[in-house]
Structure 1
């Protein structure tokens, strides 16, 4: 995989708010860095704050983390389908419909962190083994154009976005 800038036609404008948060063109390196960075950040996070929400109706840290994993799995699945030249238009998903079924209150911080690592390692393995042609294919996801490379950037940028929210609202 050759690091490169995304072309304008590889993603909708909506997702550029996440893509633009990623400061490198080497997306695999960014995903690997986040794996280490998140592990260190949450290792230091107090156990009694994993069930903390900064306001009524907002997600707890566990719920936020599970949301990030749900989104990553869906985005990686979309990337796989498009990379394998599947022309099927892929539907969107409503994060708020997923939330009631997270089972976050019954999860330990350790189980959430363990699952995060597995999800991220799977994403890294996927993206580091796609060639430039596969990464550049354009498919349709959520009624918009998407390339596997753009989806990888969205995964990384989505996490950057939520880490900023945590640092701004939860700390």
Structure 2
């Protein structure tokens, strides 16, 4: 079972994500999250999936694309740091990734399928790392982080955005 990382295992700006993750087996949490996200969005129409709760905000499809892209990037960091990479891994500009991802051209079901495949990869990768690899420290986006912390950041990032979808999109008077 993967235990929550200590605060010294990740930069302070990730604390909110890590704190969102409930206690328990992280691999089971990640698997359950995927099911929760699919269940949350499965009945959203294509028209509604392009809803923005405010001008210049992302659509539901863009939020889902962002969650998936971020998990891809974090999984690469997880692999790299778990394998002992010592070079600084780059950050990324999420707004630019969403803009260039052009997620609204995909159906919501396609985007959910992409997220499902990426999540399955993340679970397999995390499950393959031994304790030594999980506590391995590396550098990414200007800070030091452990492989284990990255797993929790992935989970917390999805929780954060799923809550935003529930609160700002699905409960909006304009939805």
TM-score range, shorter chain: over 0.9
Corresponding position of 2:141:
142
Question: Would you say 1:165 and 2:164 are equivalent positions?
Answer: yes
8 Å CA contact retained: 2:134, 2:147: yes
For 2:122 and 2:2, how far apart are their aligned partners in 1?
16
In 1: Cα distance, 2:107 partner to 2:52 partner? 16
Deviations 1:43-79 (A, max 9, x none): 1223321111101000000000000001000011001
Single out whichever of 116-125 and 38-47 deviates more from structure 2. Answer: 38-47
**Structure 1: 4+ residue segments shifted above 6 A:** none
| Distance (whole Å) between structure 2 residues aligned to residue 159 and residue 8 of structure 1 | 20
RMSD: 1.1
- Does 2:27 align with 1:28? yes
- Paired with 1:47 and 1:57, the residues of 2 have a C-alpha distance of 19
Q: Which runs of 5+ in 1 are unaligned?
A: none
Q: 1:29 to 1:169 in 2, by over 3 A?
A: same
Higher mean C-alpha displacement, 66-75 vs 94-103:
94-103
Q: Would you say how many aligned residue pairs link Structure 1 and Structure 2?
A: 170
Alignment correspondent of 2:12:
13
CA deviation vs aligned residue, 1:97-147 (integer Å, no higher than 9, x gap) = 212211222111121111111111010110011111101001011111111
- For residue 25 of structure 1, report the CA deviation from its aligned partner: 4.1
Corresponding residue of 2:45:
46
Query: Offset at 1:3?
Result: 2.6
